[in-house]
Amino acid sequence: MEKNRNGNNSGYKGRQSYVGAPYNFVSLPQKVYDYQEENHRQTWHNEMSDELFTGEVEYRITANTPIIVGDGKKDASGLEHFVKDSEGRYAIPGSTVRGLIRSNVQILGLSSVCDDIDDYTLMYRYVAKGARKAYNAILGSNTLLALSDNVTVNVVKNVKAGYLVKEEVNGKEHYYIYQTKVDFINKEELGEMNYYVLSEKTILNDNKNGKKSYPFFQNRECNILQHNLNYIDGKMLNDKEMINRAYSPYSKLVAYKIKNEKEVVAVDNPETANQRNDYAKGCAVSSGTMKNKNVLYIVPEIDRSKEKIIVPDSDVEAYKRDYTKKENKLGKKEKDYFKLPKEGAEPKPVFYIQNGGNLFFGFTPRLRLSYENSVKKGLKGKQGESILDYGKVMFGYSSNTESYRSKLSFSDAVLTGKKKEIPEQKKVLAEPKPTSYMDYLKQDGKTVDYNGNFELRGIKQYWLRDTVAKTLDDPKNDNIFSKFIPLDKGSIFTGKVRFQNLTKDELGLLLWSIRLNENSRMNIGKAKAFGYGNVTVEIIGAKKIDFERAYCFDEGLNLSPYEDINVDIMIQAYKDHINTFLKGGDIDKLPSIEEFFLMKAADRMPQEGSIRYMNVRKEYQYRSKALPSPKEVIEESEKANKRI
């Protein structure tokens, strides 16, 4: 395949060899360092010993690209600015630096990530690339329903419709689904379906021919259909000229008339059902826009006399978590449509399926389902255990039975150099999501997801960039963009880390995690995927307290009882200690450590084309290969450089 000038395969549909992302994964170490197994003594904060180290490390952060550590607030123009401390100085908060160094400690310290991963079940919907067999089997998809005007639609016959409410019963709030007055449309042909499908083409043709059988839609505001009513003869319904840009999802009370059990032949305002016996009450439901989706649904009236179905709390939490991840991409009306109803609110039409003891629900018939396994099932061996490791001992921890205070304190890193802001930046700051299983999970030649046996790829890290990248897609929804004012490259920050009662190996690990290797860089702050926050971190001073000098009263009060620390010696002390644990191995040669430093190497940054976000519409949905390893990305990029 021909390469474009950025070194990536430029083909779209049908040409799927390009796979890349602005992030990758550092493998989890197979051998995890456990304090208790290694008889490594956990020190306490009030101990006094010549073998323990207390002091401070002063460091300098230099921005190699523009940097934005946002204050989380937006001004009147919707802009987010760089954080300022209590004295009005630009500063990187100590908590931000702490998070960065803690992540480095976990990787370099061969720690377990078990307690850092939320254990929850992800949801999925296989429609972007064509429904998969398992998804089809559960929903009963690929069932064709013939309607009038030679319209045939694909329906899911295992999905039912009902009404979702939040109610308090016996002092406890729960979500319930009320059934409808129609149990089944045609059980022999359409299984569990108890709602009707209405094609927009039927409504449009009816309007064109002057029949006026669907006055509810023809007399409503313009955003009631996904296509404009007055279309031009000969135009396909999915032509750009036909799309109604004002459309938004909704559910509205209606009266409807049925023919041949399953065909909706008229829809009017709800009062009509009170006046005519051949009309029934219900709700017209039209969910979010989707390419080539030209249907809406009629859900029969609620029946409060039938037994209601309780929605398990775990399924409610799964829905809330899934909704939160996509909330920022939704417009206001879309947010309202997909939100769960509050207590006392009107019953909300909902679609659901009871399968294998599970209840899946949502606001479109093509439901998002839960995977069989939770995320933590992908942690193998000691990685799946909560153990006492370097990350916990140095940074503290808390559990149901005990807690341990951190031995490290991070001050804010205050801007001491360049103070120049650069003009407003506008980016889509989409976070990579674990639902992208071809990235987050190890693939073994066949597609592996969260059903069955799987293993997590590792710890996510963003690639370094030496320039700021452009946004690939140009979203129509302006709410998706984040607007911010970064500080320019060359900005310099200084800060301190104070440590107390660290062992020699712990101090060595801390220093290594701050400085890393020669020619290494890190990334910090927002918009790392686009190259912001590429920084060099240097140790400009490391001192320990000499307690003998500090408390030697014969010599008088000593106001500077500090002694310089040889950083290289301390780092080597940690490596010697951990190499003993590795039984003569070399920590620098472990796959996880090599991958980590490959991603931090300033002289081996991959080409732009191999670490950009894929175009969602033209590339991502057609991908067929898993994300390459960090080493594969760099080697392919370096080969491409030689070919150019």
Q: What is the mean pLDDT of the chain?
A: 86
Does the pLDDT at position 232 exceed 80? no
Q: CA angle at residue 267 from 265 to 272, to 5 degrees?
A: 120
- Residues of 348-386 as b/e, b for ≥16 C-beta within 10 angstroms? bbbbbbeeeeebbbbbbbbbbbbbebebebbbeebbbee
Residue 17 has pLDDT above 70, yes or no: no
Backbone phi, psi, residue 515, to 5°? -90, -30
Decide if pLDDT at 136 tops 90. Answer: no
**Averaged pLDDT for residues 328-347:** 88
- The pLDDT score that the predictor gives to residue 433 is 82
pLDDT band (50, 70, 90) for residue 11: very low
Rounded percentage of the chain residues whose pLDDT exceeds 90: 56
Provide long-range contacts, Cβ within 8 A and 24+ apart, for 442-445. 443/626
Query: For residue 131, what pLDDT is reported?
Result: 39
Higher pLDDT, 233 or 482: 482
Tell me which range, 44-53, 211-220, 239-248, 334-343, is most confidently predicted by mean pLDDT: 334-343
Rounded to 5, what percent of the chain is helix, strand, coil? 25, 25, 50
**pLDDT over threshold 50, residue 10:** no
Closest alpha carbon to 587 in 116, 99, 33, 101:
33
Question: Whole-model pTM?
Answer: 0.83
Model pLDDT, residue 325: 80
pLDDT band at 12 (very low <50, low <70, confident <90, very high): very low
Residue 206: predicted pLDDT: 84
- pLDDT tens for 552-587 read 655 556 567 789 999 999 999 999 999 999 998 999
Average pLDDT over residues 484-499: 96
Q: Render pLDDT for 387-410 as a digit per residue (tens, 0 to 9).
A: 999 999 999 999 888 889 999 999
- For the segment 424-441, the average pLDDT, to the nearest whole number, is 83
Lowest mean pLDDT among 296-300, 415-419, 575-579, 620-624: 620-624
pLDDT of residue 7: 42
Among 64-78, 227-241, 304-318, 433-447, the range scoring the smallest mean pLDDT is 227-241
For 590-635, how does the pLDDT look when each residue is reduced to its tens digit (9 = 90+)?
Answer: 999 999 999 999 999 998 878 887 766 666 666 778 889 999 999 9
Residue spans per domain, the chain: 25-121+376-603, 123-370
Which of 267, 221, 222, 268 minimizes the C-alpha distance to 243?
222
H/E element holding 591?
Answer: helix 591-600
Q: Rounded mean pLDDT of 164-169?
A: 93
The confidence score (pLDDT) of residue 617 equals 63
Other C-beta atoms lying within 10 Å of the C-beta of residue 435? 17
- Mean pLDDT value across residues 345-370: 91
Q: Provide mean pLDDT across the span 397-425.
A: 89
Least confident interval from 199-203, 213-217, 219-223: 219-223
pLDDT value of position 28: 96
Residue 100: per-residue pLDDT: 98
Q: What is the pLDDT of residues 237-281, one digit of tens each?
A: 455 556 777 788 899 999 999 998 889 999 999 999 999 999 999
Distance between CA atoms of residues 543 and 55, nearest Å: 6
Asked whether residue 84 carries a pLDDT value surpassing 60, the answer given is yes
What's the mean pLDDT in 120-149? Answer: 75
Which distant-in-sequence residues (6+ apart) come within 8 Å of 30 by Cβ?
Answer: 381
Query: Considering the chain, what percentage of its residues have pLDDT values greater than 70?
Result: 87
> In Å, what is the CA distance from 153 to each residue of 15, 137, 242, 609?
29, 18, 20, 40
Q: What is the pLDDT of residue 229?
A: 67
Pairing of strands 263-268, 196-199: unpaired
Distance from C-alpha of 468 to C-alpha of 470, rounded to nearest angstrom? 7
DSSP-assigned letters across all residues of 225-287: SSB-SSPPTT--TTSGGGB-TT---EEEEEEEEEETTTEEEEEE-TTHHHH-TT-EEEEEEE-
User: Residue 636's pLDDT band (boundaries 50, 70, 90)?
Assistant: confident
**CA-based nearest residue to 470, from 522, 410, 518, 532:** 532
Mean pLDDT (whole number) for 430-446: 84
In this predicted structure, which of 80-84, 286-290, 389-393 has the lowest mean pLDDT? Answer: 286-290
Least-confidence region, from 87-101, 119-133, 419-433: 119-133
* Nearest by Cα to 98 from 508, 519, 549, 498: 498
Find the length of the chain.
644
pLDDT at 234: 45
